[in-house]
Amino acid sequence: MAEELTRKQFDLLEALAAAREPLTQRGLEQVTGHSLGTINRTMKELTEAGLAADGRITDAGLNALEPYRARRAVFIAAGFGSRLVPITLNTPKPLVRVKGTRIIDTLIDACLEAGITEIYVVRGYLAEQFDQLLYKYPMVRFLENPLYNEANNISSALVARYMLSNAYVFEADLVISNPGIIKKYHYTSDFLAIRKERTDDWCFTVQDGIIVEEKVGGLDCWQMVGISYWNDADGHKLSQDIEEVYKTPGGKERYWEQVPLVYRKEHYAVEIRECFDEDIVEIDSFRELKAIDKTYDV
C-alpha cells in the first residue's frame, strides 16, 4: 500500500480513530456516508495493510493518519473590533465575554479537545490584555502585530506566516457552540462554510467541492466561516505568497484569505467543509451581542 492514504481510506481510518467502540461496516456507512460496497472494499485494503482490524484502528493505522493531524492553531486577534463599540473601547473583541465566557475561549477549548496544543495568538490592539489568557491556557504563545492599525488582517498573517503548516487559522471573534467542527485530522486544506440559498455576507462559489471564487453576497453559495485548515504543503506556499501579496501595491489592504483564494489561487485547491448555523456564531455588531447576551442590553 502506498504511503499516502486514498480519500476513502482516510475517511474510514478517521472514523475508526474517533470511535470509542469497534465499528461495523453499517456503522461506518452511517458515519462516513460511503456505500457499503465501498466500505467493504476499503476495509479489506486497510486490513491487508495492517491499518485496521476487527472494526478498530491499529497502531499502524494511527501512524498512517499522523501526517494528516492538525498540529497548531493560529488566532488572528489583533484588530480593534470597531463594530462592537462601545464594549471594545476597553476590551479586545476576542476577550469580550458572551454569557460569561470569553469569545476566544470557545475556540481554544475546541482546539484542546481536538488535541491541538501548539497555539499562537496574533495580538495588536490592547495587546497586554491577552496576557490574562495565560492563567487558563499557559501553552498560548503570542505573536505581536505592530501594523494592526495601518493594515488589514493580512498583516497578522504575515507575522504568523511560518506557523501555517498543518495549522488551523481562526478569526478570533467566533463563538463555537459545537466543538466537534474542529477536527483532529484533515485530508487536505479546507475552509468551513455554511450552505446558503442567498447571503449578503462573504461567500464562496464551489465546484466539485473546491472553492473557485470568493465574493461578497450571492445566491446558492457557501457563506464563509472564518476558520480554515492548511496542510503542510499549502502552509509552506502561504508563507511565501502572503509576503509577496503584502508587498504588492494595495497589498496591505487585503484580507489574509484572499491570498490563497484570490490573488494566488492558482497555487491552491481548497476544499469546502460544511458546518451549520447552530454550530457557530460570528458576532458582528454590538446589536448582535445584545441579542445573544441580555446582560449587555441595559
* pLDDT above 90 (res 291): no
How confident is the model over 31-76, as pLDDT tens digits? 999 999 999 999 999 999 999 999 999 999 999 999 999 999 999 9
* pLDDT above 50 (res 14): yes
Average confidence (pLDDT) over 219-243: 97
pLDDT at 251: 95
pLDDT at 197: 95
Q: Which of 42-56, 192-206, 232-246, 276-290 has the lowest mean pLDDT?
A: 276-290
Tell me the pLDDT band of 85, cut-offs 50, 70 and 90.
confident
d(CA 180, CA 32): 15
Per-residue cell: 235: 502552509
Tell me the pLDDT band of 286, cut-offs 50, 70 and 90.
confident
Per-residue cell: 121: 495568538
* pLDDT above 80 (res 2): no
Residue 233 neighbours by CB under 8 Å, 6+ apart? 165
Per-residue cell: 182: 474542529
d(CA 61, CA 170): 29
Average confidence (pLDDT) over 118-144: 97
pLDDT at 130: 97
* pLDDT above 60 (res 145): yes
What average pLDDT is seen over the chain?
94
pLDDT at 293: 87
* pLDDT above 50 (res 18): yes
d(CA 201, CA 193): 11
Q: Which of 184, 134, 152 is nearest to 251 (CA)?
A: 152
Q: Which of 3-12, 111-120, 132-141 has the lowest mean pLDDT?
A: 3-12
- Check if the beta carbon of residue 114 is closer than 8 Å to that of residue 182: yes
The DSSP H or E segment spanning 225 is: strand 210-230
* pLDDT above 50 (res 1): no
Percent share of the chain, pLDDT over 90: 84
pLDDT at 181: 96
Rounded to a whole number of angstroms, the distance between the first and last alpha carbons of the chain is 63
The residue type of 187 is Y
d(CA 268, CA 264): 8
Per-residue cell: 218: 450571492
Q: Measured between alpha carbons, how far is residue 277 from residues 15, 170, 186 in Å?
A: 24, 17, 22
The size of the chain, in residues, is: 298
pLDDT at 120: 98
All structural domains of the chain, each given as residue ranges with its CATH number in brackets, are 7-67 (1.10.10.10), 69-296 (3.90.550.10)
* pLDDT above 90 (res 272): yes
SS3 173: coil
Give the distance, in angstroms, between the CA of residue 187 and the centroid of all CA atoms in the same chain: 13
